[in-house]
Amino acid sequence: MDLQGTSFIGAGRGSGGAGESRAVNPVSGEGMEPAYLAEGEESVEAVCSLAAAAFLDFRERSGVEKAVFLRAIADEVDVLEEEIVSRMTTETGLPEGRCRMEKGRTCGQLRLFASLLEEGSWVDARIDHADPDRAPVAKPDCRSMWRPMGPVVVFCASNFPLAYSVAGGDTASALASGCPVIVKAHGSHPGTAEIVATAVRIAVEKCGMHEGVFSMLYGSGRTIGQSLVRHPVVRAVGFTGSRNGGRALMDAAAARPEPIPVWAEMSAINPVFVLPGALRERGDAIAEGFVGSLTLGVGQFCTNPGLLIAGGEGRSQFAERIASLAGEAAPAAMLHKGIAEAYQDALKVMMTKEGVETLAQVPVQDGSSQGGAVVLGAHAAGFLSDQSMAEEMFGPATLIVSADDEAAMLEVAESLEGQLTATVHATEEDLEMFGKLIAVLERKAGRLVYNGFPTGVEVCDGMVHGGPAPATSDGRSTSVGPRAITRFTRLVCWQDFPDSLLPPELQEENPLKISRIVDGKRN
């Protein structure tokens, strides 16, 4: 594909005017062509105006029409797979297999939401019929369902150039709900973004959608990103990235005259608890699986385990085994130099803390974008006395905390911030002795993993990828799976409306044949 290096403003392309930048190959350190032109305030106004106009049409499209659109996007991404993989591997340093896997997940998400729309019951339609004879006050007819909020801004994630970017989960769920999407491209993989945006634009045209249903801008998150969040047309935001970045967007959204929700995934260390019986019975296997989870993707998954709490005899030998395995893991290029530098900075801070011992450290070349595995150790008492030990080191680093008994483990668990995941390795006997731990972790994390490892997020109906702050800005939802659609909707009730003015989902004869709650009963 002949990349142009310009934004997508509806059916047109941008012209820049606010600077330019290039992607950098993290392996070679070389800049890549073409230069990508940053847009200014004029383009923000243009895409927001287009999205507002598109919303009036798109919100009224049937579930079947929107499903056709989502499937068309997936089909066009499939067509461009080779171009995507070629550019993505060069921009990110990710292996080809990972890129193809992420492409498959991206298309799978789009098709999953298409199936949700075709079935139609996701709107949670509820009907309470009128009772004019009820005393002392007549009962009105009330009908409600989820409805789209309006244009959504989606920020591409640096660590998922496809699955959490241009046509990723936030975009798929926002479009599925009936909301136009404005994407803010990420500066570390702009070419990948341009190819995928081209696929989306082709689908927009093929399906006869309003041009404003999708746009994508290049530019700084601190300028153009903040401008998009503050624009009065925008109704919600989807973000995956750092805690500082997420907080900045949340603050900007909250400061608006009319605040809007920011669905931000920001920070997690995904604790793994290894109880005494499990350690005794299968410590070596747990150590091997843990190191594989820790180093997967050079530790750049949001679910990599950055904390392990071990209890029982043999804790020291277990930690040494993890350190030995991690020390054998070869360093690899991280997604871009900024991430690599932030990782090294976090390590320097953590390794100088009182009570923290370095058990293993894979050396990396100075000034490179490489990340090497690091295993640190501490005792529960020290960890509890310094809460900064629980801060995220985004990369293949973990802190092993030694806990003497159930009380120490519970104290560590209670001290933790909100997490995406919490894992427990246990036997049945362990759970009898440590029964309170699961209840504590349920309050701390969005997904509990038993005798497994947190990396790998299945895209399915039952998945929850979210958690209490700071894992996400709002732990009441998920960014993965069909339930993600409700993040970009709001409930609307129609009281005493004639049938002809009701949405099809709420009409008396149920023309769409969806599941509904009618007078308190599901049918």
Largest CA distance in the chain: 81
Is residue 359 within 8 Å of residue 376, measured between CB atoms? yes
> Is 294 within 8 Å of 305 (Cβ atoms)?
yes
DSSP string spanning 402-446?
EE-SHHHHHHHHHH---EEEEEEE--HHHHHHSHHHHHHHHHHEE
* Nearby residues of 520 by Cβ (< 8 Å), 6 or more positions away: 128
CA dihedral 412, 414, 416, 421 (to 10 degrees): 100
Active site residue 302: yes
Q: Which residues contact 365 (CB under 8 A, 6 or more apart)?
A: none
- How far is it, in rounded angstroms, from Cα 441 to Cα 67? 37
How do strand 357-361 and strand 374-379 relate by DSSP bridges?
Answer: antiparallel
Q: What residues contact 60, with CB distance under 8 A and at least 6 apart?
A: none
Assign 282 to helix, strand or coil.
Answer: helix
List residues bridging with 425 in a β-sheet: 274
The rounded distance, in Å, linking the Cα atoms of 115 and 131 is 37
User: What is the spatial distance between Cα 66 and Cα 76, in angstroms, rounded to a whole number?
Assistant: 15
Q: Which of 302, 411, 428, 493 is catalytic?
A: 302
List the catalytic residue out of 76, 83, 91, 265: 265
> Catalytic site residue 76?
no
As a whole number of Å, the CA-based R_g of the chain is 25
Encoding tokens for residue 97?
Answer: 């297999």
Catalytic residue annotation: 265, 302
